[in-house]
Amino acid sequence: MNDRKQRSTTAEDQGCLRWVLGVPLVILYLISGWFCWTALTIRPSGPWDDDARAGIVLSCVMAIAAAGVALLIILMPSARRALSRWWLAPPLVLSLVAAVRWAVTG
């Protein structure tokens, strides 16, 4: 009887932990996604447009930073127990997109 109650409490704790970790992670994903979108939509007018290139680089850096914070949260031991591995995909994809855009910008 006591073992069943403890398992139920553990499952409830993990459910709460998913919400406590999931909400900030989704917010960080949205922030990183917005910066990625900004980096992808800025178009320099020509080779002389240093301001647009600086905006692209700043957007890429901010996207990678937000995704990096999300990755740090996901890689915490308590988060790894509560969240599935699919939570790793968005920050990795967003970081990759931002890094490629930054590299293409030159």
Tens-digit pLDDT profile for residues 47-105: 898 999 999 999 999 999 999 999 999 998 888 888 888 999 999 999 999 999 999 98
Is 3 a residue whose pLDDT tops 60?
A: no
| 30 or 45, which is more confident | 30
pLDDT, residue 21, reads: 84
pLDDT category at 18 given cuts 50, 70, 90 is confident
C-alpha closest to that of 63 among 104, 31, 25: 31
pLDDT, residue 97, reads: 97
Separation between Cα atoms, residue 98 and residue 56, nearest integer Å: 9
Separation between Cα atoms, residue 106 and residue 89, nearest integer Å: 26
Q: Is residue 76 within 8 Å of 20, Cβ to Cβ?
A: no
Mean pLDDT, range 21-50, rounded to an integer:
93
Which pTM was predicted? 0.82
Is 9 a residue whose pLDDT tops 60?
A: no
Mean pLDDT, range 17-27, rounded to an integer:
88
- Give the torsion sign (CA, 16, 21, 27, 30): negative
pLDDT, residue 26, reads: 94
Instruction: Dig out the tokens for 101 from the structure.
Output: 């855009």
Q: Is residue 62 within 8 Å of 33, Cβ to Cβ?
A: no
Give the DSSP per-residue string, 87-100. GGHHHHHHHHHHHH
